[in-house]
Structure 1
Amino acid sequence: MQIASTNKHDTMKSKPTFFISSTIYDFADLRSAIKYYLEQQGCVVLASEFNDFGQPLDEHSYGACLKQIQVADYFVLLIGSRIGGWYDKGDRISITRKEFRAAYELHAQGQLKIITFVRADVWTVKEDRKVLVKYLEKLDLNDAAKQQISNAPSKAVEDAQFIIDFLEEVGRNKETAEAAKSGEPPPSGNWIYSFSKFEDVISVLQSQVFAGLAKVHAANRRILRNELLRMLTSILSKSTEGKTYFPEYRIDELAKKYPIQGDDIGKKISIERHDLEMLFMIMVDQSRKISTLQVIERVLATDTFLEYDDESGNLREHPIYDALISLQSEVFDRNNFDRKLISEIGLALQAHPKVQKIAIPALQLLPIQGLFDRSVNIVRICKAILLHFDGNQYVAPKLRHRSPITDQKQQLDHERVAIADVENFINQ
């Protein structure tokens, strides 16, 4: 995942870490929604009210929060109407404000990025108070009275002056004014985004954090879609009426009518002439090689179909990732079909022009049935992926067995070594 990395993390980091800072009570639903959204993007989210925050039992929760900020790549600050818990009540420093100051120190060192959101109604209170203060300056009132009026309680905020001061600090207003006077570079990390609904927050995260990522994934899906469509052109057929089809039902009929048993190896199987002609025609049609898998290989080398797993803390493959791996294997086996069998079946038909049943060695039929099975699987996998790209829920297709020998399929599948078997072997 190519998300902007910071100096303390190398560019190979695949799970960007977010720390969500805010008062808990009034942001509970939003914090949960943001956490869910970010984790769906493959990110790690540190939110103190969740069990996966990693709370040390021998440390105060405030200290644990400040320590966790140090491992974050992004600090998401939510400012609302409440102060929250005091970190230092005498100096009017809330724990949220303390977290922000700790984050800004890391930001100044190039180790963390800050994204700040403020509720739209709270931002309106701030702007209204600025107008009110200017108006009070014109009135013949003493400073104490002006201060009392400007700090009057509001339904929108718990402590208007505290929230305004906090927003001024986050916006680096004083530093910006001083930089303008001195000609020094202005401070960074001072953007504040006003929001009124969840979509406002997500749009900022998408543009500031995942800029280009969604485009890369969309581009990968688009070029992969084109490759799958081209792949199907090598397998599908077109009738004289111009209808595109795949002869799966014919393949099924032949497989059911002439099943290959383990005892048939070394023997010949008698096939009716019209069935053998049908088998020959399908074989000619399905023997065309699939020319390229370059896009699939390239997409598999990216994180387009990787997801972050909360339980294991690792990236896991999306079902489409596994489907593409299977598709590679099916195409490889299909392309390795021995095309000399086509001429052998053709010669058998020519040698017995009037015979209604022709005996064919089972060893010839095995690779032919294997070719048909591979084609069926390729069509099913491509169709399932393309339907998903069109907005449908992905449904893993049922694939044919690797061996066409009907009475040995279960045994062969049982004996085949899977990745899970290899992992168990390594851990023995």
Structure 2
Amino acid sequence: MLTAPRLSDPDGFTNLLASTSEADSLLHDAMFTREGSLFWLHWAGHGHLDEHGQRRLFLTNATATNLRNLNLDRLAALYRTQLAHKLGRKVFTIDACQTYADPRMRLPDGIPVPVGNTSPPGAPLEMLFASPRGRRAVHLTKLGGGVFTAALLGVLADEPDDRWPPDFTTLPQRIEEYILRLALNNPDAGRPIDVRYEDAQGRSAVTEIEPPTVLEPAEPDWQPLMVRAAVTWRDELDRNVTRRDPPALEVHLVPTADEPVRLSLLELERSAATLVGHARAAGLFPPDMPVLQSIDDVRCLVTGDTDGQVPGLAITRGGQRSAWRKLGRRSDLWVLDRSEVAAQTCDLLRLLTALPGRRSGRVVPAIGLEPAQLVAVLSDDPSPFGPRFPAHVRVPADDSLTWQWLVDATDGIGAELAARLVRRHAQEAGRR
């Protein structure tokens, strides 16, 4: 935990084991009596996302029966108020997992965060995370400690004296480049190219860099299936086969036949208990949208309480994960725009890969559009519709990917699935 002009200044920082009393004293009492131009909190330890999608950091005196923790999102909200204005610029760097907690895990409320006078808000706070939501932070089993922490300290040690504090907007890319060098020299370091940055207003930005070809293939390893995957499509999940509006983009992840999954009913019930929290945390459901939940011996399902049951999220006992959302709209037309579909597909893939459960081996991505009768395509053709009006468009699910590629190359995979859907729609609508 740093309030120093330089990391090398031993009098400017406090290093402690974050037990309840020490963390409470430093973060909620002592720090509000100090003044400075830079307050830097670095946290290395265990973390989870709770059922509401809030970040929790476990304290050193946490036990199996009392998971003492700090609610990072509440702390960040506090440090963005005028209560912390004397600390100057504020930076949090967090080396902890952001995986969702098991629904059976009872997380207490955490260290009480004072509310105080929160008006006017807006005191800047920037945050860097070792992993995105739903992912683990990578640990150096042989070297000890987190790879994010090792890379951060390495980058800061190289920082020139006349460039302090560093440019935090460029730190993610510099950390990732350092990690790549570390991975080349030490295979145990892994390759967590997933540093995430939130700016002073809490807006997230992602830095991507090209991985070296020595570490893994340059393209996702699509492999054809001997037998096409059996996808449970949206109309089978919500059992609504008569709707005509609104058209929804649906994305599914189906386990391969040679690596079957069979969830117990108890596992399905536990999954159902967390679906709403996952969907709201990912932005699939707006905070004020009422939802409908249902569970039977086949699937658990949560949808928006709307006529078209959009958006929606489901898990089946066979391990399939499914999500859907409304197609984009232009004026009075539902429009199949390839770039918009790619962006929406990526969002749905990230949500599905972040859900709890098995994330190993291979999986079959599937994409579809339903209902499709009123979907238009913007082109040079004076008519936005083709000669045929298909009830739905479903891309054949006939190749698979590893889970790791789904996570590491989401943008490219989302773009590929969108391209397949647009091409399939053109065929089904008779445009070409």
User: TM-score band (shorter)?
Assistant: under 0.3
Q: TM-score, normalization: structure 2?
A: 0.20
Structure with greater proportional helix content:
1
Query: Which is higher, the Rg of structure 1 or of structure 2?
Result: 1
